[in-house]
Structures are given as structure tokens and as C-alpha cells.
Amino acid sequence: MQFNPREITALAQAEAAAPRLDIYAFIHKALRAFMADTLMGLGRADVGDDLELSQACARVLELVDFCRSHLHHENAFVHPAMEVRAPGSSAAVEHEHEGHEQAIAALASGAAQLMACPRERRARVAHALYRQLALFVAHNFEHMHQEETEHNAVLWAHCTDAQLAEVEGAIVASLPPAEAMVTMRWMLPYLTPAERALVLCDMRQHAPREAFQAVLDMVRLHLSASEWDKLARTLALECS
Ligand SMILES: [Fe+2]
């Protein structure tokens, strides 16, 4: 994808447009954060430290698992909602997802190879994996932008916000508890305070009390004192 400066001018137009439900927005913030953090973590890992190296590799494996699951959700829930209303509209992205599956398998095997690698070759293998992951991240940042623009244009033209909320709700309901927790781990700290409060307020109203508390305890570890104060205040005042 070529960089298009006109995309920047779209910022001004976004302000004028009536807000629609963007089912990609929050989960893609989570993915961008998870990808960026994992890439930087791998780039600074001490390959002479067994624990640090295995943690960096385990993080790469966690990330690619999350990416695989995410693309399956898009294929299984979002694309059928598009295809039934606008046949062919998800074909290009669905095709890219096949390439992502191959890249994910290559990254997983690269991480396993690095973990098993003799100490003297670790630095070279780690750097090769770092560059491979950087390309995957770069491609995925553009891919997510395509979904947020082209796919949302189709979804907004053919679906009501209630229908989109149904698609999103079906994805959330399909998540096993461990994956839901990983999603919250990477989503909540990287939302704005208003978005964070919105997600947690909804969760307080619909999820079991223990699940809500576990997520709240987890997110607190990843927020600054000021972010935590804002969240606690909003939850107390506007979400009881
Ligand atoms: Fe995608």
C-alpha cells in the first residue's frame, strides 16, 4: 500500500460525519498495542539471559495465536455479514487472511527455533525473527486500515448500528474466558479514558461480578495513577 497524504485530510472530514458503530476500532487498538509491544520487547531482549529470551519468544507465540484467532473471527462473523448484503465485498481481505495464516505459522516456527537455538547463534536468529515480525506488523497496520475504511464503508452502507452490535456481540460471546482476558489486557490500557469506562461499565452490567473484578484488577496494573483515578471516578459516578 502506498502512503497517501489525502488520508490525513480525511481527519477533518471524520469530524463532520455522523458517528457510526465502528466494530474494528477497539479490537484494532488492542492488536496495534500487542504487536508494537511484542516487537519492541523482542528487539531489546537479552539473548544471553535464558529467562528473558524464553519470555520474549513466548510473547511472540501469544501474539500470533491472538492474531490467528482474530482473523478467524473476522472470517466467521464479519465477512458473512458483508457478503450476504454486498457479495464479493470481503474477498480481497479474506484472501490476505490466507497469507496471514502462512506468516503466522512462519513466525511461530521462528520463535520455537529461537528458543531451541544454541547460545552462540541466538543473536543472529533473534534479529532475523525481529525483522520478520516487523514486516508482519507493518503489513497488518495497513491491513487494519483497509478494514477500518473499506470494510466499514460497506458495513455502514448496508447495516444498522443495531445489526453491527449483533455481529460484535456474537464475536464477544464466542470468546473462551482466557482469550477474553487477553483481549482486555491489550485493549483496555490503550483506549481513551472515555472508551475504557464505556467497555468496563458495559461489562459491570452484563458479566459476572468476579469476572468484572478480575478485569479491573488486571487493568489497574497497566494504567498510570491518573488514568486509574479517572476510571474509578467515572465508574463510581456514571455506572452503578
Ligand atoms: Fe483482518
Q: For residue 107, give the nearest of 160, 38, 52, 174 by alpha carbon.
A: 38
Q: How far is the CA of 137 from the centre of ligand 1 (A)?
A: 12
Using DSSP, state whether 4 is helix, strand or coil.
coil
**Residue 183, C-alpha cell as written in the block:** 483481549
Q: For residue 136, give the nearest of 172, 108, 166, 155 by alpha carbon.
A: 108
Question: Quick one: pLDDT band at residue 18, thresholds 50, 70, 90?
Answer: confident
DSSP state, 147?
Answer: I
Q: For residue 185, give the nearest of 199, 205, 171 by alpha carbon.
A: 199
> What is the model's pLDDT at position 5?
66
Spacing of C-alpha 119 from chain mean position: 33
Q: What domains appear along the chain, each with residue ranges and CATH number?
A: 22-175 (1.20.120), 191-240 (no CATH)
Q: How far is the CA of 141 from the centre of ligand 1 (A)?
A: 10
Using DSSP, state whether 26 is helix, strand or coil.
helix
C-alpha 212/C-alpha 218 separation (Å) is 10
Q: How far is the CA of 143 from the centre of ligand 1 (A)?
A: 6
Q: How far is the CA of 238 from the centre of ligand 1 (A)?
A: 34
Q: What is the DSSP string of 79-118?
A: HHHHHTTSTTTTHHHHHHHHHHHHHHHHHHHHHHHHHHS-
Question: Quick one: pLDDT band at residue 44, thresholds 50, 70, 90?
Answer: very high
Q: Residue 47: what are its φ and ψ, rounded to 5°?
A: -70, -15
Q: How far is the CA of 79 from the centre of ligand 1 (A)?
A: 10
Q: How far is the CA of 225 from the centre of ligand 1 (A)?
A: 34
Q: What residues have a C-beta under 5 A from ligand 1, the ion?
A: 74
Q: How far is the CA of 161 from the centre of ligand 1 (A)?
A: 20
Spacing of C-alpha 162 from chain mean position: 23
Mean pLDDT across the chain: 94
Q: How far is the CA of 199 from the centre of ligand 1 (A)?
A: 22
> What is the model's pLDDT at position 238?
83
Q: How far is the CA of 128 from the centre of ligand 1 (A)?
A: 25
Model confidence over 129-188: pLDDT tens digits?
A: 999 999 999 999 999 999 999 999 999 999 999 999 999 999 999 999 999 999 999 999
Q: How far is the CA of 4 from the centre of ligand 1 (A)?
A: 20
Q: How far is the CA of 38 from the centre of ligand 1 (A)?
A: 19
